Structure formats: structure tokens, C-alpha cells
Amino acid sequence: MLQVVLVYPEIPPNTGNIARTCAATNTPLHLVEPLGFEISDRQLKRAGLDYWEYVNLQVHPNLEALKQVATGRLVCFSVYSDRSFRDFQFQAGDWLLFGSESKGLPKDLIVQCENVCIPMEHPKVRSLNLSVSAALGLFEARRQLGL
């Protein structure tokens, strides 16, 4: 089963939107602390609408705790990769990792994982909104796996 992981997310509405996507696709969502908000944050709840009861949410105190439970490949989405996510062969047990809105994923984590990027055509645009990136990554993996 695919898993979505947000490492150090900062903006509640982004996490809420990703939670809604995970609920719609029955995909577990993992958050790695520290978070830039409280789980009870009003904006987080609002972005997730009334779907929170359908989200399989797990919060991990740090990256090491996440790695201890991750049973599949860790696939980092990063601007530091030159391999397009469209050319990558996803597997059913992949854990899709997305970094914080302001810093992305830690570089020392990226070198330990499979890594892919979402190509940007404009040279001055380095990233997309976190919830858009997570949706693109998750749905490309699902498409490849016939889900």
C-alpha cells in the first residue's frame, strides 16, 4: 500500500488538503514532527473538511521513528533530483516523502532514498504548492499501479 509522508510540514491548509486527498484514496498519511502547527489547528481542520475521520493519520516524533515503521522504499520528492517522477517505476509499498514548504526535505535524507522531482519548465519557478505536489506524486504512483 502506498503511504504519504509529510516531513516537517508548516502550513495547516496544505496538510489539511493532503489529508483530504489521502482520505479520498484510502492512503495512510504520516506527519513527521516538528510540525508548524497543532493538530487541532482550526485551519488544518477546515482544509480537511469533515473527512478527518476517514484519514489514517500517524504522527512520528522524528525521522528515525518514521524509518523504524517504514516497510517499503522511501521515495523523496525533491528539487535536487534530476529524475522525473513520471520516469520512475513506483511500487505498491512505496512511501512518498514530501518536505516542508520553506525548506523541502533534509539533504541527508534525500541521499538515503530513491529520489525524484516534479519537473518545472520555467527556470525561475523551483517548486509547486505542497498539496499539489503530493497529489501529483500520489496519483502518478496510483496510475502506474493501476489504482
Lowest mean pLDDT among 11-15, 84-88, 90-94, 141-145: 11-15
pLDDT at 48: 57
The pLDDT tens digits for 5-64 are 999 999 998 999 999 999 999 999 999 999 998 887 576 666 556 788 899 999 999 999
Torsion of CA 62, 8, 32, 23, to 10 degrees: 180
Our CA dihedral for 55, 61, 67, 70, rounded to 10 degrees, sits at: -20
Would the pTM count as exceeding 0.85? yes
Tell me how far apart the alpha carbons of residues 85 and 51 are, in angstroms, rounded to a whole number: 28
Assigned CATH class of 3-144: alpha beta
Is 99 marked within a binding site? yes
Q: What is the pLDDT of residue 47?
A: 58
Q: Would you list the domain boundaries of the chain?
A: 3-144
Residue 103: CB partners within 8 Å, gap ≥ 6? Answer: 8
